Amino acid sequence: MTRWARGETEIAELVKTGRLQQVTGGQADGTALLDKARRVADSAAALVDSDPDSAYVLAYDAARHAGTALLTHQGLRPTSKGGHYALDLSLRAQFGTGFRAFSTLRRRRNELEYPSMPSDAATTAEAEAAVQDARAVIDSASQLLPGLAIW
């Protein structure tokens, strides 16, 4: 199999600038991360009513694990230099609008983790929507993962 043509330029730049690094062997299997994403999404769903902020952050983490699973399966992983934003760029470059929810989750998670106002908190409805978005990202990743090759 060959590299994905869509997003190849962007991924090459992220590797060149050290925001992504290549991994090989057993490190290039995203299956366990995808399983973890499902468990984290279930944990998020359990907290929606009692702790919407934590539920939202966990929903984001679930989506992040699913996205990282895709990169891992391609023999790639974000570095500390690239972090969550490199993952966001990678998902959008390669897989398009189906991962737009990840960008929204990431930005809102940052607002919740680093609030500018002490009263900035997630609502129950917002947390529930985040869990649904995370599950959609996980479902998309589940469909894509088997067809991915090393980048």
- CA-based torsion, 67, 68, 71, 77: positive or negative: positive
Tens-digit pLDDT profile for residues 92-149: 999 987 798 999 999 999 999 999 888 889 999 999 999 999 999 999 999 999 999 8
> Strands, E, within the chain: which ranges?
20-22, 76-78
> Is the pLDDT confidence value at 1 over 70?
no
Place domain 8-147 in its CATH homologous superfamily: Nucleotidyltransferases  domain 2 (1.20.120.330)
d(Cα 14, Cα 85) in Å, to the nearest integer? 11
Contact 143, 69 (CB under 8 A): no
- Sketch the domain layout of the chain as residue ranges: 8-147
Cα–chain-centroid distance for residue 82? 13
Kindly give, in sequence order, each residue whose CB lies less than 8 Å from that of residue 127, ignoring residues fewer than 6 positions away. Answer: 44, 47, 48, 52, 53, 55, 56, 59
Residues 13-37 have a mean pLDDT of: 94
Helices and strands (DSSP H and E) totals, the chain: 6, 2
d(Cα 76, Cα 15) in Å, to the nearest integer? 9
Q: What is the pLDDT of residue 2?
A: 46
